[in-house]
Structures are given as structure tokens and as C-alpha cells.
Chain A
Amino acid sequence: MGATNGEEHIMPRFLLLQNYEGGAGCTVPMSNWAPEDIQAHVAFQQALNDELTDKGEFVDAQGLAGPDMAKFVTSDGVRVPVVTDGPFPESKELLAGYRMIDVDSEKRAIEIAAQASAAPGPSGVPIQQPIEVRQVMGPPSADL
């Protein structure tokens, strides 16, 4: 073991992940929502990103093209790769989008995830979608 005290990396990064399953407040896909509800939802997401930038915590946020466009690729490195097109039976479990944040603690990451989970759905009812909180690997904390 080396000389350092094994102090944790000061700003852990987290990915907040969400899929297409919806939550207690809404299980209907967005394509079936009223236009103003979609607008309110998008505005909410943008406002959350702006808030995170303002607090010095925002790294990146992206939504992914729909599961119908997804492809699964497998290869043994020798033969022609196998490419599987959708639709997939478990398509709701695919990743829909993510936010990457740079925060002081896991506690803060959970706070932000809670905000994201309460995003408005149809008629402004919070969707309550489960947000998967995953720490991103960082540098080693100390000499081994």
C-alpha cells in the first residue's frame, strides 16, 4: 500500500438511466400523449438540464432513437456478424435515454434521480418512472 490515505475520488460521476417502461403515473408511450403534455414533458427535461448546468453538475444528457430502430449485433470475429432487427419482445427494457452528472455524492445523485422520476406525463401527473442510478468508473483511489 502506498502513502495516500485512500481518499475517494472527489466528484463521482453518475449515469441516470431510464428505459421505456413508464411508471406508476403513466405507462402509455409518449406518442399517444396530447401535444401539450409532450411539450410540458420536454420543457421539464430541458429545465432540469439547465438547473444542473447552473449548479455546476451537468455533464451530458441524451435521448436515444426508438427501440424499433435498435439492432443487436453479435460476432465471433471470423464469420459475417449476425445483425438482429426489431421489433423485440422486451423492447420496453431497452435504454431510452440518460443523463450524466458530476456531483459531490451519491446522495445528490439520488436527489436528481428523484427529480427526473417525477417528470410530468399526461395531464401533468408525475410519471414516477424508475431511474437507474449507476456510478461511472473513475481513476483508482490510491496506490495499491
Chain B
Amino acid sequence: MTSSPDAEDLLRELAPQVLGVLMRRFGDFDAAEDAVQEALVAAALHWPHDGIPDNPRGWLIQAAVRKMTDHIRSEVARRRRESLAAARDQPGDVGGGDDTLILLFMCCHPSLTPASAIALTLRAVGGLTTNEIANAFLVPEATMAQRISRAKQTITASEARFQMPGSDERAQRLPSVLHVMYLIFNEGYTSTTGENLHRSELSGEATRLTRVVHGVLPDNGEVAGLLALMLLTDARRSARTGPGGQLIPLAEQDRTMWDQELITEGDALITNALGTGSIGEYQLQAAIAALHDDAARAEDTDWPQILAFYGLLERMSGNPMVALNRAVAAAMVHGPAAGLTLLEALDEPLGGHYRLDAVRAHLFEMAGDVDSALAHYRAAASRTTSIPEQHYLATQAAKLAARTTGSGEDRTPQE
């Protein structure tokens, strides 16, 4: 979209609301989503010239309904008469955030692959155009259009209805929604700054949508936990890469660059969430992120508490990647030997994964076993699937190699 940032934000905020209105009136997800998309494009085209209308939501609804009726008229010769007659009217429903959440439940349907759910969510709920999503994921627009269209067919086939799931089903399906939000955030967060701006905007979009869900479900600890995790992670964004895009590990980041406003908000969210009811994975991850963010210097980090949280998280998730992080925390608390011992159990589940080698290298380096550290840094560098990571790991190896040959090129003390 080429409209001003204000108009663009407004459009994205209104997109799910307008789609909600159409869904309640017509109940045809595929066609309603197309109609809203066309209305958004029309708005992006007209508003910069004509100014934002007094009632932008009404303008969009009117435009989308017009597109929708055009569509129905053209389909009416076929089977559409029936579906019109069956059009649902659900008076009890209200608009706004609730509609966004209902749409998220539809778009993050468990029958979709994560990639399909992400694309559909960004378009139907995020109000992004197919072209913008294609740019963010670096695929041709035709490819992304097909991915979205197939996802919509899957939703239609699953006969998902436009209504808030009951509390049991909601509890069961909310994790899929949160997982998709988490993946969208990560897609944006992990991309190198400046390399693909469309891509880094994805984090902001994920945070915005999670904020809406938090607004609807303020007492849900996991929603609050995920939002806190995003804010506390995003706070470090500008410090995690150097001027050439090189990765800077947490311990070496310039902490004055961390965004204190985001940290304050994230801290408050997670403190509040941890105090209420059951604890979930996102809350634990956010709690760990908060402990990192609250340390003014790397050496002030509360590693014993982080170790305890990773222990809980590992029991809860059974994820070997969590076990890997716990080994690092154990090394920081009890020394590298303790961490290395924990890693032995991970050879089986993580066999061949470069991050196991990277952590092993780091712990061997801490232990002063330069030869083993060097071998594992090199193994990790040869198997990572990311260029910034490869550069980082190769540089670690090079620094160690320089030390062993005594060339004295690198005099900075190693941890």
C-alpha cells in the first residue's frame, strides 16, 4: 500500500473488523476475504487523494459489501442462492477485538501448515496485500496468491464457522494461534536488519495482533506471556547485530542500546501474568527474557533463576532445544563441566544439529579446552543454514586458532 503510515495503520486495524461484519452477514470466508482485500486496495488508492473519510470503518464496510454483492450476483446463477438464504445473523456478537480473535482461530486452523496459516493470517487479519506478503517471504506474487487461496480452500472445507469457539475448544486451539503469532514474530526478528525491511515489519505485525488478542483475553497468562516475550526480545533488536549485519551474542551486546520502554512494559506484563494462575511455556520464556533484560551488565545476570526456569520449561515442553539452553545456564551457574555433562544426553535427539556443536564449542572454550572448542566451532560453522551465524561461528574458530598458534592477533580476553 502506498498510503501514509497513519492511513496504513488504520486500514490494518480495521481489516479484521470489516471482515468480521461481512462474515456475520454472508458467512462465506473465501469470498468475504477477497471482498475485504479489494476494499482495502480501493481505500489505499483513494484515501491519499480524497483524505481519510469521516467514518473509515463505514466506508470500508460499504465498499466491501458492494464487492461482496457483486460477487454474489455473479454467482447467483449457480449454487449461491442457497448460501445466501442460509446467511447467518448472530446478534449477540460484538465487533473489534473479538472479531479479530475469531478470525485468528479460523486462519490458524490446525489443518493448515504453519506457512499457510501465516500467509492467510497476514492477509485476512493483518490486512496486508498478497504482494506485501510475497515480498516479505521473497516469493513471486503468483506463488503467494496460490498459497493463500489453498489455505482458504482448506478453511472452507473444514467448515469452520464464524463464531467464537466455546471455552473448551478455545483453550484447545489457542496454542495454534499463539504459535503462528510466535512464528511471524521470529520470521521478522531473525532477519538481518536492513536487508529486507518488509520482513522485519513482520515482528511489529505479530506484536500488534498479539496485543489485540491480549485485549480480548486479558486474564490469559499465555497470551500475556507471549506478548511480554515479544516485547522483551524486540527490546534487544538494535543491539543484536553490528554495522555489517554480524551477530552480536547477548553477553557482548551494548546494553545501553536496549529499548527500556519495551523492557518496562514487558516486565510489567510478565510479572502480572506469573502472579495469576497457571504457568505456561511463553510465560517461562518471557520470564527468562526479562531476567536477561534486567541485568545491567552480562555478569549481573541471574543465572541460577534462569537455570530454574529452563528446568521448568524443559519438563513442560520436552523440547531438546530448551535442554540445550538449560545446559548453557547450568554451565554459567555450576561451571562448564556441568553443562557439558548435560549435553551428552542430547546427542541422540539433536544428532548433527549445528547448535549442539555451537554450544559444545562455547562450553569447551569456557573450560579452556581450546582444541575441542575449535573442532566444534568448525563443525557448527559447516552445518548452520544461516550466513550471519556461519560468520560468527567461523570467527569464533579463527580467534581460538589465533590463540593456539600464539600469533597474538587477538588479545581480547575470552570468557
Contact = CB atoms under 8 A, between A and B. Distances in A.
Interface of A: 1-7, 9-12, 52-60, 102, 104, 135, 137-144
A140 B139 contact: no
A143 B183 CA distance: 14
28 contacts: A1-B324, A1-B325, A1-B329, A3-B232, A3-B285, A3-B288, A3-B289, A5-B317, A5-B319, A6-B321, A7-B186, A9-B385, A10-B114, A10-B115, A12-B385, A56-B115, A56-B116, A56-B139, A58-B139, A58-B142, A58-B143, A102-B139, A104-B113, A104-B114, A138-B386, A139-B191, A139-B192, A140-B190
B389 A144 contact: yes
Residues of B contacting A: mostly:
helix
A99 to B, nearest CB: 12
Q: Which of A4, A6, A56: most chain B Cβ within 10 A?
A: A56
Contacts, number: 120
Given A2-B289, A142-B190, A55 B150 contact: yes
Contacts of B384: 140
Contacts of B215: none
Contacts of B191: 139
Nearest to A135: B385
Contacts of A60: 140
Nearest to A6: B321
B161 interface: no
A58 B321 CA distance: 31
B122 to A, nearest CB: 13
Nearest to B326: A1
Nearest to A2: B250
Given A135-B385, A139-B191, A2 B140 contact: no
Given A102-B137, A102-B143, 19 more contacts: A1-B324, A1-B328, A2-B289, A3-B289, A3-B292, A4-B233, A5-B319, A7-B321, A10-B114, A11-B137, A56-B146, A56-B148, A57-B143, A59-B139, A60-B140, A140-B247, A141-B355, A141-B385, A143-B250
B322 A53 contact: no
Nearest to B199: A139
Q: Which of B247, B292, B324, B325: most chain A Cβ within 10 A?
A: B325
Nearest to A4: B186
A6 B114 CA distance: 16
Contacts of B324: 1, 6
Contact of A1 (B119, B187, B250): B250
Contacts of B322: 5
Contacts of B233: 2-4, 143
A67 B236 CA distance: 49
Interface string B106-148: 0000000111101100000000000000000111101110111
Contacts of A102: 137-139, 143
A140 B142 CA distance: 27
Q: Sorted from nearest, which 3 A-B pairs have the closest CB atoms?
A: A56-B147, A3-B289, A139-B190
A144 B241 CA distance: 11
A7 B320 CA distance: 11
Interface in B224-252: 229, 232-233, 236, 240, 247, 249-250
Nearest to A56: B147
Contacts of A57: 143
A3 B289 CA distance: 5
Contact of B355 (A6, A9, A52): A6
A143 B389 CA distance: 10
B387 interface: yes
B114 A141 contact: no
Nearest to B388: A140
Contacts of B232: 3
B325 A59 contact: no
Given A2-B250, A6-B321, A138 B144 contact: no
